[in-house]
Amino acid sequence: MYKKEEDWEDELPLEKMRRSFDMAEDLSATFTLPIKTRDGQVCLKRKKNTGKTAPVEQENTIKAENKAKDAEIKNPKKSDIKEKLASIAQKIIENPEENIGQLKTLYDMTLCSTIYIQRLGLLTQLVVYRDIIPGYSIRPLTEIEKASSVSKEIKKRRLFEESLVSNYYTYVSLLSKTIKDGYKFPKGSLHQFLSNISFSCVCYLLLSVPHFNYRDILLDIISTKLTHKKTDVSFNECKKTIEELFKNDKEGEISLEIVKRLTNSMKKRNYDINDTILNVFLELKFLSQSNTTYEKEVSNSHKRKHEKQFMSKKMRKLDKGRKEEIENEIDSIKRNNQQKARIQGKILKLIFTTYFQILRNGLTNHIYASLKGLEKFSHLISIDFFEDLLKSLKELLENTFSVNLDISTKNNTKGGLLCIAVAFKLLSQQGKQNIFSYILLTIEAQMKETINLDLSAFIFYLYSIMIPMSLNSYIEADIIYKSKKQDDIISNSNNSFTRLSEIEILEECFDHIFFQDKNLNLLRAAAFIKRLFTVLLGFPEKSAIKSLNLIQKLIKKHPKLNCFLNSNEEYGEGVYNGEIDNPDLSNPYLSTCWELILLKKHYSPTISNIAGKLFHC
């Protein structure tokens, strides 16, 4: 009989029974290493496998494979990411207007949690923006421009520019955020590494597209970094970027923005900055004294009369048209120069204000860099600043670089000589100012006034500092501090006072006092010669030779000083006072140059020869 329909699902007893297999061998057993018995027979033993470890190992292997597959799904390979980024970047660069929307895809890929992918994303976006950014700044459209009807091409271009500016802003903001986050992590961390990459991107953008939008954000990032006291790779990179911008800036607008931000950041930090940042200002470029381009055009346009009379009517017409072109070009150059002059006047005011604040506050770490800047821009300093500047230099000599203070003689003599040299150079340049050096003046007529400033205080200090110089073992060194880190303060320029040794700065001071001044005070010159003879006995060989050459040069220019070397003649009444610091009251003519006798027996043949020549003058 057939089963009912409801009993079909019931299993038979036979179906519930387990299957059995006849195994020829026990697969669970395994052979061990052969064993040699006492009888000398070699036997193989079987060892049953309990089956406990194999399933566990198999289960672990399966789990590891599953995890690897999940990781591959979540984190694709680096090569795949590179290819995808390169493909998107290539599409955008080939046709920016059609594929401008892909910039958002690049940005989204950069927001990955992996540092490696973030680095690739930042650098890829950098290359793309460098290639697609136009050569002009994009301004926002006005309401009238938005409402007006335009052609399809113009509308398409506007959409492209709007999308470009929007995506570029998100990229710059991401760089700023990455750099700020890097300050929170220690040096050597992955976030710090990503911050350094972002600094490189910022510097590259400023150098490649300095004209484009959001330049102020990039400059704020760099100025904030440069006003930090600690230096690293990013600091040096930002510093080089600013120097390159100064060198390449022809209009002055970028330079003005940079100087404004740097000086404001310095002021906020109370000038607690790295010493090298002040040297960045030395890379600024100013207008030359004359514009040779249009001067040549003017000279060529004014031809001689006998040349004009042989011109045809057609040639005269062409010559007249060329004259008008030259005049228009000259007018445009003059207007451009006036605009540059206004910008550079603002730059000078900001820089000199910073220098004066440092000098007035007596910030020793930055004094040398400030003096170096004043020395370089001395021909551009306004007359109104002279009195305040000389007053600040006098205060430095009295307070910071006084030889009576119990401070390193090396620092005092070097700094004091620098102050004196800068003061005399400033005064010597006041008659050589060009048309752009009076920008800061309120009245143009003040340029023609003569400045009569008394520099006797600087001369007396120079006379008093010569004795400590002979005790200074660093007199021939061209460094300011013992620490080698301070060498960054000094520029590679050979004309800078800060690069010279102390004896070379002394030569510069002598040149301003005795060789450039037409009204020479012979009594003062004799006092300086006598003191120089006294102190050079303690100088090293090179400094002694320079000092003797200086004396020889001074006597050659003013032969009346020959009588000072003659020991048989005396002039005046009283006694020689060599200890007083006022050369006008020392009575040098009542002394003798007995040092020549010792110098003739000097171990150096050069010194003995020069001393012999002076002795027989």
- Give the model's pLDDT for residue 64: 56
Tallying the residues shown for the chain, one arrives at 617
**Confidence class for position 176, pLDDT limits 50, 70, 90:** very high
- Helix 115-132 crosses helix 78-94 at what angle (to 10 degrees)? 10
How far apart are the C-alpha atoms of 364 and 396, rounded to whole Å?
10
| pLDDT exceeds cutoff 80 at 298 | no
Structure tokens at 68: 């690897």
Which pLDDT band holds residue 317 (cuts at 50, 70, 90)?
Answer: low
Does residue 67 surpass a pLDDT of 70?
A: no
Q: 171 burial class (0-12, 13-18, 19+ CB within 10 angstroms)?
A: buried
What does the pLDDT average to over 242-249? 90
Using the predicted structure, report yes or no on whether residue 205 has a pLDDT greater than 80.
Answer: yes
Residue 294: the pLDDT is 43
Residue showing tokens 């906020």: 268
Mean pLDDT over 128-150 rounds to 87
* Residue 15 scores a pLDDT above 60: yes
CB 46 within 8 A of CB 31: yes
What average pLDDT does the structure give for the chain? 76
Structure confidence at residue 222 (pLDDT):
93
Residues 118-129: what's their mean pLDDT?
A: 92
Residue 524 to residues 64, 119, 388, 552, 583: CA-CA distances in angstroms? Answer: 94, 69, 27, 16, 6
Query: Does the pLDDT of residue 313 top 90, yes or no?
Result: no
Q: Of residues 614 and 44, which shows the higher confidence score?
A: 614
Residue-wise pLDDT tens digits, 365-379: 788 788 888 888 877
* 261 within 8 A of 223, measured Cβ to Cβ: yes
Average confidence (pLDDT) over 275-287:
80
How far is C-alpha 22 from the geometric centre of its chain's CA atoms? Answer: 89
How is 241-253 classified by DSSP, letter by letter? HHHHHHHH-SSSH
Q: Does the structure show a pLDDT above 80 at 585?
A: yes
Report the pLDDT averaged over residues 309-320: 64
489: DSSP letter: G
- Report the distance separating Cα 97 and Cα 403, nearest Å: 71
Mean pLDDT of 140-159: 85
Helix 541-557 to helix 605-615 angle (10° resolution) is 20
Q: pLDDT at position 566, please?
A: 65
Which string of DSSP letters, residue by residue, matches 526-580?
Answer: HHHHHHHHHHGGGS-HHHHHHHHHHHHHHHHH-GGGHHHH-TT---SSS----S-
Q: Which residues contact 286 (CB under 8 A, 6 or more apart)?
A: 344, 380, 436
The percent of residues above 90 in pLDDT, for the chain, comes to 17
Q: Is the pLDDT of residue 66 over 70?
A: no
Q: What is the pLDDT of residue 276?
A: 84
Give residue 438's pLDDT band: very low, low, confident or very high (50, 70, 90): very low
Highest mean pLDDT among 495-509, 553-567, 603-617: 603-617
3-state secondary structure of 48: strand
Is the pLDDT confidence value at 404 over 80? no
Whose CA is closest to 231, among 192, 275, 190? 275
Residue type, 361: N
Query: What is the per-residue pLDDT across 464-504, written as a single tens digit (0 to 9) for each?
Result: 888 888 887 777 765 433 333 334 433 344 344 456 778 88
| Confidence tier at 167 by pLDDT (50, 70, 90) | very high
Q: Is the pTM of this model over 0.75?
A: no
pLDDT at 199: 93
Question: Taking 90 as the threshold, does the pLDDT of residue 565 lie above it?
Answer: no
**pLDDT of 126 strictly over 90:** yes
Q: How confident is the model at residue 395 (pLDDT cuts 50, 70, 90)?
A: confident
Mean local confidence (pLDDT), 29-51: 67
Distance CA 527, CA 544 (A): 18
Determine what percent of the chain is predicted with pLDDT higher than 70.
71
Give the closest residue to 118 by CA, choosing from 180, 126, 238: 126
pLDDT of residue 304: 45
Query: What is the pLDDT averaged over residues 447-458?
Result: 61
Question: Shortest CA distance to 368 belongs to which of 505, 204, 464?
Answer: 505
Phi/psi for 396 (5° steps) reads -65, -45
Averaged over 343-347, what is the pLDDT? 85
For the residues 54-73, what does the mean pLDDT come to?
52
pLDDT at position 447 is: 39
20: confidence class by pLDDT, cuts 50, 70, 90: low
Residue 477: predicted pLDDT: 66
In angstroms, what CA-CA distances link 394 with 46, 167, 271, 358, 416? 105, 55, 21, 14, 10
Band (617; pLDDT cuts 50, 70, 90): low
- The span from the CA of 66 to the CA of 71, in Å, is 9
Mean pLDDT of 305-322: 61
